[in-house]
Amino acid sequence: MSEEKVIEIYIDGCSLGNPGPSGWACIIKNEKEEKILKGGEPFATNNQMELKAAISALSYFKTPCKIKIYTDSEYVLKGITQWIFKWKKNGFKTKDGKPVKNRELWEELDKLNQFHRVIWNKVPAHSGDFYNEKVDKIAKETAKRWVKK
């Protein structure tokens, strides 16, 4: 009986100005290679970019996979593992009755999270974790490309 392979993914997003020029990045690791995905927008928030990183990482795989995602974003981690269940029950409203921010991104991430078997892991930001630091640097470099000179 062979053991199922687990894909490890590190994600990060940033916004220079929040909102402002922004970027996201993912490092997808398996036993053979590391694949870097990255992107950005001229005007977005850091939370939007954190969500885009997660969505892009999970969208990369077209068949269901077992995936471990590492993020330093409390927003993404708690959102997808805790808050999403209440949001879906109450029509994506906060406890104050206001619309949940970034609803479309959350709904997309939720679909992908259900398609794959995802284990979400918290990595402390700027704590010296090699891949977390690397993905942070790539996201920042990507955001800088949107800065007007």
How many structural domains compose the chain? 1
Structural domain of 135: 6-144
DSSP letters spanning 17-38 = SSSEEEEEEEEEE-SS-EEEEE
1 found inside a domain: no
Task: Say which of 23, 40, 41, 72 is annotated catalytic.
Answer: 72
37 found inside a domain: yes
33 is catalytic: no
138 found inside a domain: yes
13 is catalytic: yes
116 is catalytic: no
Mean pLDDT of 44-57: 99
Task: Say which of 13, 23, 40, 79 is annotated catalytic.
Answer: 13
pTM of the model: 0.95
- How does pLDDT run across 91-139, given as a tens digit for each residue? 999 989 999 999 999 999 999 999 999 999 999 988 899 999 999 999 9
83 found inside a domain: yes
53 found inside a domain: yes
99 found inside a domain: yes
129 is catalytic: no
pLDDT class of 1 with cuts at 50, 70, 90: very low
149 found inside a domain: no
Identity of the amino acid at 6? V
Mean pLDDT of 40-67: 98
Q: What is the CATH number of the domain that holds 73?
A: 3.30.420.10
d(CA 49, CA 40): 7
21 found inside a domain: yes
Task: Say which of 23, 40, 41, 50 is annotated catalytic.
Answer: 50
pLDDT of residue 3: 66
